[in-house]
Amino acid sequence: MEPTDNEFIIKHPYFQGALDCIQLCFESCGRSRKPRCTPILGMSGVGKSEVIKEVLRTFGKPRKPGEMPVVVVESPSYPTIKAFASEILLALNDPLYHMGTEVLMVNRIKRLFSEKNTQLLIIEEMQNLIDQELDKLLFKTTDFLKRLINITKKPIVIMGLPQTIMLLQCNRQLKRRFTECYTIKPFDIVTAESRGYLASFLKTLQNKFQFQEGLQIYTSEMTTRFYYASGGVVGYIIDIIYEALRLALKSNTGLISRSHLAQAYNIIACGNNLIGINPFVAELNKCSAALDILKDTKYGKKS
């Protein structure tokens, strides 16, 4: 039986670190001289979207009708100042979200933040602001973000791919308003501590799904195999597990076997399958080649 989405949040240390940073921002609203703003970065698949879901579950519940303690918007693909302001107003349920000058729109954002008791603004996909051919647009939009912080006095968390850090590097005044960024890292097996994090994550999955008797996916060997299959990226691990579950249910047993994991890997990471390296089948000393290929493929687009 599949876990429900609410049951599936696994608060591993890298995930919890991001939550802790966002909580500091949320709690700074109205309690400090200036709002605390933080970038949360990470490659595709490490769980940024799941972090946002957990923030909404934890801090986003309104105490009164009409309140919006946490507002989440996605950076527009063509991030003009007006497009950015419109996205925020739309999230705040402003019926005239697309209308007005920049000044009027910012004033409405400030008013609605106050009316809805908004304590935190989260902006996703901030890498959309990076365009080497549109330097002027990039600076104007980041400057708008700086003014938004100054005018509303609300903490802002920006989230995106690692290259998002370039936004702060190109606008020093904006950088001054953000604390040191937090990066949600993939698991790795370089140190005993990081290997332990991955093993613990896999053990949690072991308890949530039904596996064939004798198959323990959190042993040292299987931890290594999962690392080579996923690069330590949570999204890839989850994709493999769910695909293996589908195969197990199709076989009428409902129990995930190592064979199911191998088949699931071939389906999810088809690029690796083309050269016959499967970390759930190959000898361990050959599995590193699968990881090298994984770094060059683009399967899995979860954030």
**Per-residue pLDDT in tens (0 to 9) along the chain, 303 residues:** 444 444 578 999 999 999 999 999 999 998 877 899 999 999 999 999 999 999 999 999 999 999 999 999 999 887 788 999 999 999 999 999 999 998 999 999 999 999 999 999 999 998 888 765 555 556 778 888 889 999 999 999 999 999 888 888 877 788 888 888 999 999 999 999 999 999 999 999 999 999 999 999 999 999 999 999 999 999 999 999 999 999 999 988 889 999 999 999 999 887 666 567 899 998 888 887 777 766 665 444 434
CA–CA separation, 73 and 83 (whole Å): 12
Nearest by Cα to 68 from 91, 50, 86, 51 = 91
Start-to-end Cα distance in the chain: 25
Task: Give backbone dihedrals phi and psi of 158, rounded to 5 degrees, phi first.
Answer: -105, 140
Assess whether 135 and 220 both reside in one domain. no
**CA-CA distances (angstroms) from residue 102 to 88, 93, 97, 108, 136?**
12, 18, 11, 10, 17
User: How many other CB atoms sit within 10 Å of the CB of residue 220?
Assistant: 10
Quick one: how far is CA 54 from the chain centroid?
11
Number of separate domains in the chain: 2
Last residue of a domain, one of 166, 183, 200: 183
Assess whether 86 and 171 both reside in one domain. yes
CA–CA separation, 186 and 292 (whole Å): 15
Assess whether 178 and 196 both reside in one domain. no
Last residue of a domain, one of 183, 202, 224: 183
Element (H, E) at 158: strand 156-160
Assess whether 175 and 36 both reside in one domain. yes
Angle 102-115/135-152 helices, nearest 10 degrees?
40
User: Which domain, by its residues, includes 21?
Assistant: 5-183
41, 34 Cβ separation under 8 angstroms: no
